[in-house]
């Protein structure tokens, strides 16, 4: 059945949710406070880089509305999804300002039964807080649902429409039935649970994936010392079905808007519950050290050859996105800028976002991989964009002043690179 839905917050998650719900046949109003974003969307311009989003938005435009008017959207809808940002504070705690604002706004508008579905990643207990807060302003009936989102930027549409599972934390039958109806055409296991468990599932999932990454990075560091090859080790353990091959790529650590903040967030949740989560603290520490180690590797190589110019390939926190939030590239570049090196950077789509994050000092944003490599002493591959595997490396080598190639993502083959005459170093490889 076609449902009338509002999505509050039209960022990576909100826009994907809105567009995919329209694709599923629902009438969706996407709301954002950012006027510029909404104006662009009204003109059909997608403000983020997400493969496939553009096409599906155009195709299902008749089911979609974009507005800054929360009141109008909420009053026209029976289900309200919340997808506002919940960033980290300086101390790692979760900043709930946007979420609380959104709930207070909605609470003051409510005039009939609605289901308020939370997609933002929020501390366990937020559902309870939400209920109390709404009751302060509205005396009628409403339901609260926790429906955490597991999509990955770069494959958001597929992840939303073909998820491994849909988690629905719910307290009453009516809301449960409507939620199941909304997602009825998605063939995936639906986990029905209480709200607190649903909130915890999201943190536990991200913390587990981050743990896998930090674990393989520690193995890589040990491989470097022991003379083993982490790629083979990962293959050897990943084929064990109890382990699985995913998230076993050693590199310079995880970044992005979710893993660092959710690991820190869960650590804070544990701290507030007076539980010492030893393992998760180590996961975060290992990740930070992995980035620092790579920065030192670049600086030491430059010192060794008296080099001044570094080429950085990749700015996004991972391929297929323009998102540079908590991208290892940004931290590494800032570290190099503090040491006065000349930095030449290239990314296929994330340059404009990176410009907003990086100081202007000693940095040149290049239009091609080749331009960035020209006259470089050291080339550091930071984001594994597929196009880097297709490049003419002979040409790259010719363009560089010194041919030191530091592969932070183990994207290229050491033997092939060495044959071409590069001094090549991956992470945890022989
Ligand atoms: P985002 O920053 O891209 O988007 C949030 C949007 O909400 C912004 O456009 C902002 O202007 C808008 N907003 C804030 N307050 C508002 C209000 N009161 N009314 C209307 N609009 C408002 O954030 P995101 O990456 O989409 O993440 C949203 C949530 O989903 C976070 O909790 C995040 O942890 C979680 N999440 C993100 C991802 C991801 O890959 N980005 C994946 C799963 C879950």
255 to each of 33, 45, 258, 344, 350, how far by Cα in Å? Answer: 26, 27, 8, 21, 14
Set 223, 258, 311, 366: catalytic member: 258
**Lookup: tokens for 222:** 């040990």
List all residues 6 or more positions away from 382 whose beta carbon is below 8 Å from its beta carbon.
252, 312, 313, 314, 315, 328, 329, 332, 408, 409
pLDDT at 340: 86
Terminal Cα-to-Cα distance of the chain (whole angstroms)? 58
C-beta 353 within 6 A of ligand 1: no
Residue 69 half-sphere exposure toward CB, CA atoms < 13 A: 8
- Enumerate the domain spans of the chain: 4-193, 209-425
If one counts every other C-beta atom within 10 angstroms of the C-beta of residue 50, the result is: 24
pLDDT attached to residue 430? 76
- What burial letters (b/e) apply to 18-43, b meaning 16+ CB within 10 Å? bbbbbbbebbbbbbbbeeebbeebee
The one-character DSSP state at 303 is H
Is residue 311 annotated as part of the catalytic site, yes or no?
A: no
CA 9/CA 85 separation, integer angstroms: 8
- What pLDDT sits at residue 379? 98
Cα dihedral sign, 38-43-47-49: positive
Q: Which of 6, 7, 8, 13 to mutate to test the pocket of ligand 1 (most atoms within 8 A of CB)?
A: 13
Q: Rounded CA gap, 155 and 320, in Å?
A: 8
Neighbours of 308 (CB within 10 A): 15
pLDDT attached to residue 366: 98
User: What pLDDT is attached to residue 311?
Assistant: 98
Residue nearest to atom 22 of ligand 1 (CA): 9
Give the C-alpha distances (Å, rounded to integers) separating 168 from 147, 176, 191, 263, 317: 5, 8, 6, 22, 29
Mutate to test the pocket of ligand 1, among 10, 12, 15, 99 (most ligand atoms within 8 A of CB): 12
Question: What is the distance in A from the centroid of ligand 1 to the CA of 318?
Answer: 18
| 244 phi-psi bin (left φ>0, alpha ψ -120 to 50, beta other) | left
Which among 313, 280, 286 has a CA at the least distance from the CA of 207? 280
Per-residue pLDDT of the chain (430 residues; tens, 9 = 90+): 999 999 999 999 999 999 999 999 999 999 999 999 999 999 999 999 999 999 999 999 999 999 999 999 999 999 999 999 999 999 989 999 999 999 999 999 999 999 999 999 999 999 999 999 999 999 999 999 999 999 999 999 999 999 999 999 999 999 999 999 999 999 999 999 999 999 999 999 999 999 999 999 999 999 999 999 999 999 999 999 999 999 999 999 999 989 999 999 999 999 999 999 999 999 999 999 999 999 999 999 999 999 999 999 999 999 999 999 999 999 999 999 999 899 999 999 999 999 999 999 999 999 999 999 999 999 999 999 999 999 999 999 999 999 999 999 999 999 999 999 999 999 999 7
- Beta carbon of 12 within 6 Å of any ligand 1 atom: yes
Selection from 133, 12, 23 nearest residue 83 by Cα: 12
Give the distance (Å) from ligand 1 centre to CA of residue 324.
15
Say if 4-193 and 209-425 have the same CATH topology: yes
CATH architecture of 4-193: 3-Layer(aba) Sandwich (3.40)
Rounded to whole angstroms, how far apart are CA atoms 26 and 30?
12
Gap between the Cα atoms of 381 and 345, Å rounded: 10
pLDDT for position 102: 98
DSSP state of 258: T
Beta bridge partners of 216: none
Residue for token pair 């604002």: 101
In CATH terms, the superfamily for domain 209-425 is: NAD(P)-binding Rossmann-like Domain (3.40.50.720)
Handedness of CA 414, 373, 358, 12 (dihedral sign): negative
Do the Cβ atoms of 198 and 169 come closer than 8 Å?
yes
Size of the chain in residues: 430
């Amino acid at each position: 059945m076609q449902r009338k839905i509002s999505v509050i917050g039209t960022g990576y998650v909100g826009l994907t949710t809105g567009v995919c719900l329209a694709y599923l046949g629902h009438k969706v109003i996407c709301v954002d406070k950012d006027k510029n974003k909404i104006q662009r969307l009204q003109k059909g311009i997608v403000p983020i880089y997400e493969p496939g989003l553009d096409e599906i938005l155009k195709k299902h435009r008749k089911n979609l509305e974009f507005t800054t008017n929360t009141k109008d959207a909420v009053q026209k809808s029976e289900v309200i999804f919340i997808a506002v940002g919940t960033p980290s504070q300086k101390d790692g705690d979760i900043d709930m300002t946007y979420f609380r604002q959104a709930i207070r706004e909605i609470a003051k508008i409510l005039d009939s039964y609605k289901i308020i579905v939370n997609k933002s990643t929020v501390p366990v207990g937020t559902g309870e807080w939400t209920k109390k807060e709404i009751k302060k302003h509205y005396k009628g009936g409403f339901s609260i649902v926790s429906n955490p989102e597991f999509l990955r930027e770069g494959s958001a549409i597929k992840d939303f429409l073909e998820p491994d599972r849909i988690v629905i934390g719910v307290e009453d039958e009516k809301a449960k039935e409507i939620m199941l109806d909304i997602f009825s055409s998605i063939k995936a296991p639906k986990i029905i649970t209480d709200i607190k468990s649903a909130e915890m599932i999201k943190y536990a999932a991200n913390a587990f994936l981050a743990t896998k990454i930090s674990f393989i990075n520690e193995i890589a560091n040990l491989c470097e010392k022991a003379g083993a090859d982490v790629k083979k080790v990962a293959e050897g353990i990943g084929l064990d079905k109890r382990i699985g091959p995913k998230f076993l790529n050693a590199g310079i650590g995880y970044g992005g808007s979710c893993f660092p903040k959710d690991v820190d967030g869960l650590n804070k949740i544990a701290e507030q519950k007076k539980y010492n989560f030893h393992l998760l603290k180590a996961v975060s520490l290992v990740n930070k050290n992995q980035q620092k180690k790579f920065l030192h590797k670049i600086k030491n190589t430059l010192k060794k050859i008296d080099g001044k110019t570094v080429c950085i390939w990749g700015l996004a926190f991972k391929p297929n996105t323009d998102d540079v939030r908590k991208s290892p590239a940004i931290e590494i570049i800032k570290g190099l800028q503090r040491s006065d090196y000349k930095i030449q950077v290239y990314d296929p789509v994330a340059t404009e976002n990176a410009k907003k994050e990086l100081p202007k000092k000693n940095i040149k944003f290049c239009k091609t991989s080749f331009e960035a490599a020209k006259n470089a002493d050291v080339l550091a591959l930071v984001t594994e964009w597929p196009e880097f595997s297709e490049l003419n490396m002979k040409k790259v080598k010719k363009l560089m002043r010194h041919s030191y190639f530091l592969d932070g993502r183990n994207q290229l083959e050491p033997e092939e690179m060495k044959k071409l005459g590069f001094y090549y170093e991956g992470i945890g490889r022989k």
